[in-house]
Structure 1
Amino acid sequence: MQSPVPAAGPLRGVRVIDLTHMLAGPYATMLLADFGAEVVKIEPHQGEFIRRSGPFVSEQDAYGGYFASVNRNKSSMCMDLKSPEGREIFLKLVASSDALIENFRVGVMERLGFSFEFLREVNPRLVYGCIRGFGDPRTGRSPYVEWPAYDVIAQAMGGLMEITGEPDGQPMKTGPGLGDIFPASLLVNGVLAALVDARGTGKGRFVDVAMYDAMVSLCERLVYQHSFTGEVPTRLGNAHPFFAPFGIYHAKDGWIAIAAPSDELWETLATIMGRSDLTGDHPFARSVERTAARDEIVGLVSDWTALHTVDALKELLGGRIPFGPVQTVEQIVTDEHVAARRMVREMAHPASGARVHIAGQPVKFDTPYEAEPSAAPLLGADTDRILADLGYRPDDIRGFREKGVTR
């Protein structure tokens, strides 16, 4: 069975069964596919929900941008797992795979007859990874174990929304789905660790990430801040609770980010601002004093940045202190850095033929192996090939389709 990605990837030879949907699970399997794993995405006959979500570039699209972005470099198999024949095919695939990833609610796989304990009997070295809102009972039973969850729920309960937004405003979720993407990234870490272990021991592991847990980990500062100080941290806008200046400042024609938390960086910034009087023996020369006078520091820096354009500030500050403009996607996709780092990738949509762009893979290796990524597959595009590779004959494959086992 051939993977759509170049064979030189560090996970070449690793086969992953993908039973995921929406964002968290598909993002995790996308990362594994980007690293060279053969990812076989199994979907029901109607396809997973985000295939039918936009945006679309043409009426000929079989899926939209949401699906395209996080399902690249995968194969697609369309199959009824509830049928006896589908069950047989699935177990054959399990026997020849290294990992399985799913993000169903608790109990779904058990009701299908595919619990981790059962699949481990079929393939003892199988690494089983899952993402759920509140974790799996195998690793610690949450009182919310039966609750469904999406990104916004995890952000709300895990503390992220409480510390995001303006001080006098409502709690605010982040723009990207961190409640999905961060758990997915953590799951990949766990799955890779378990794969290494399985190669030595011959035994797979159950790897579980709760979206709620991931948000608590992401917001780790809240826990120690509350423990050390007794405070209940809340929203500070773009300010930092411990450092100043550290945030977003207005320029004549836009916004810029400045981070000068150390005394050395402050001295550099103050000198550029023409305020050397705020260095040396001045109280503001010390980080603790600047933090205590955060509002005054923000005012001083804001008054100065407002006198200059973004380009002028880039010339004055770029390379001297941590600095960057607040950019729109139009600026991002034309940035020389993004081009040099291959962080926007072009591909042809397999249904319409349109050239579309998706975000690239940020993990780089010293020997690049990235070719043009293969587009997210059409529903069931690889079913016949995968069945043939599992040893089924053409007559068997035709029979499966006629009976509605596959599509």
Structure 2
Amino acid sequence: MTERRGGALEGIRIIDLTQMLAGPFCTQMLADHGADVIKVEPPQGDSSRGLGPFRADDETRRIGGYHASVNRNKKSIVIDLKAEEGRALLRRLVRSADVVVENYRARVMDRLGLSYESLSEDHPALVYAAIRGFGDPRTGESPYVDWPAFDVVAQAMGGLMGITGPDAKTPIKVGPGLGDIIPGAFAATGILAALLRAKMTGKGQFVDICMVDVVLSVCERIVHQNSYAGVVSGPEGNQHPILTPFGVFPASDGFVSIGAPTDEWWQKICRLIGRDDLLADETLATNASRTTNRERVIAIVEDFTRTRTKKELLEIFGGRIPFGPVYDIADIVQDPHFAMREMIVETTDPTTAAPVRLAGVPIKFTETPGRVWSGPALPGQHTDEVLCAAGFATDEIADLRRRKIVQ
């Protein structure tokens, strides 16, 4: 627990009581930048461990791709929090930590006697962050506060699903679990803000992240469109409701994205596609007029893109207007950008012989860069290390193991 990792958060210790996606994504972000994250798992392990996919040579089925993708750079300790001695052990660990993060349903930790108020009695500077589907009563009541929630619920009720889909009648879930991942990133931001305050004042606080609230905040356009124009937004397909051209267009071998709504960009498109005749067309001169005539603009651009490959379009548009091919992972791993930016990284996984690839660290620093120090851990892999560092004697740890308080 004392190794030098470097990173902007070196010296910050976090007790991670989270499972599945939102909470682990949050704590992984902090671990990537040097925080000492101690993942406290129940005896059965994080519920994401069994989800897969698994490597062919993995006979343990204890670290799948899902789990690995959000639990690198952490240490794992298994504690039975249903046992009184397990809860006392956690309290002892919290005293030497800066942050506690959990994503249980509201009041679960309160019932265990591990509430923010209880833990902060012994540790006034503690930052305690909770990620829940509908928030925590400490910062604002909700009629749904006791409801369980996952990504799909947050996407649905936060408004994201309601503006995503091929047509006005067909809402569609966004592919990645943004209803979890974005709240996790917001939680990391909230934790850092509260930590900064605690370092200045000596006073910690409770950080409440409501998944549905976060999704609404990143869908803010639906609010201002309603407030300013009385519009109830619906699924928008692959185009933008107020910017034109701005969306996805067909190529002969896939799709490309073009985001060029300013008049200057539009003029460049006209020249690049050999349609100088459109430069004098007043009905397409401004973004507002192009949006009014959206179908015509889209047809003009599609007529050009659909007869050319993504590579040909890249050569025509790349660097000249906001443009990018629609990539899948096979494209991404071959593109030099992601290699040069270290966004596909290799690390170890104790359940498989060959290295595994994970997404890299997207927040870059010049002086204290984050990095992947270690892959995901087996459940309880660091129990002895963590407890020894916390002052537990060897025979005491052995007794806790014997009685299955820890693993």
Report the TM-score when normalising by structure 2. 0.97
Do 2:6 and 2:368's aligned partners in 1 also have CA atoms closer than 8 Å? Answer: no
SS in 2 for 1:70: coil
Q: Please name the residue that 2:331 is paired with.
A: 331
Do 2:98 and 2:127's aligned partners in 1 also have CA atoms closer than 8 Å? Answer: yes
Percentage identity across aligned positions? 49
Structure 1 residues 151-199: Cα deviation after superposition (integer angstroms, max 9, x where no partner): 0001111111111001154210100111001111111111100000000
Q: How far apart, CA to CA, are the structure 1 residues paired with 2:272 and 2:232?
A: 36
Q: Please name the residue that 1:28 is paired with.
A: 26
Q: How does 1:118-157 map to 2 (within 5 A)?
A: 118-157=118-157
Structure 1 residues 254-302: Cα deviation after superposition (integer angstroms, max 9, x where no partner): 1111111000000000111111111145321211110000011001100
Q: Please name the residue that 1:15 is paired with.
A: 13
Q: How far apart, CA to CA, are the structure 2 residues paired with 1:338 and 1:40?
A: 30
Q: How far apart, CA to CA, are the structure 2 residues paired with 1:253 and 1:317?
A: 16
Q: Please name the residue that 2:189 is paired with.
A: 189
Q: How does 1:92-241 map to 2 (within 5 A)?
A: 92-241=92-241
Do 1:19 and 1:43's aligned partners in 2 also have CA atoms closer than 8 Å? Answer: yes
Could you list the runs of 5+ residues in structure 1 that have no partner in the other structure?
A: none
Q: How far apart, CA to CA, are the structure 2 residues paired with 1:403 and 1:236?
A: 57
Do 2:364 and 2:370's aligned partners in 1 also have CA atoms closer than 8 Å? Answer: no
Report the TM-score when normalising by structure 1. 0.97
Tell me the amino acid that sits aligned with residue 86 of structure 1: G
Q: How does 1:4-403 map to 2 (within 5 A)?
A: 7-57=5-55, 58-61=57-60, 62-280=62-280, 282-367=282-367, 369-403=369-403
Larger CA deviation: 39-48 vs 167-176: 167-176
SS in 2 for 1:391: coil
Structure 1 residues 303-362: Cα deviation after superposition (integer angstroms, max 9, x where no partner): 111121111111110000000001111111121000011101111211222211111111
Do 2:8 and 2:369's aligned partners in 1 also have CA atoms closer than 8 Å? Answer: no
Do 2:34 and 2:370's aligned partners in 1 also have CA atoms closer than 8 Å? Answer: no
Q: How far apart, CA to CA, are the structure 2 residues paired with 1:68 and 1:7?
A: 20
Q: How far apart, CA to CA, are the structure 2 residues paired with 1:38 and 1:249?
A: 45
Larger CA deviation: 74-83 vs 84-93: 84-93
SS in 2 for 1:47: coil
Tell me the amino acid that sits aligned with residue 35 of structure 1: H
SS in 2 for 1:52: coil
Do 1:163 and 1:236's aligned partners in 2 also have CA atoms closer than 8 Å? Answer: yes
Q: How far apart, CA to CA, are the structure 1 residues paired with 2:234 and 2:63?
A: 40
Tell me the amino acid that sits aligned with residue 351 of structure 1: T
Do 1:345 and 1:373's aligned partners in 2 also have CA atoms closer than 8 Å? Answer: no
Q: How far apart, CA to CA, are the structure 2 residues paired with 1:197 and 1:371?
A: 26
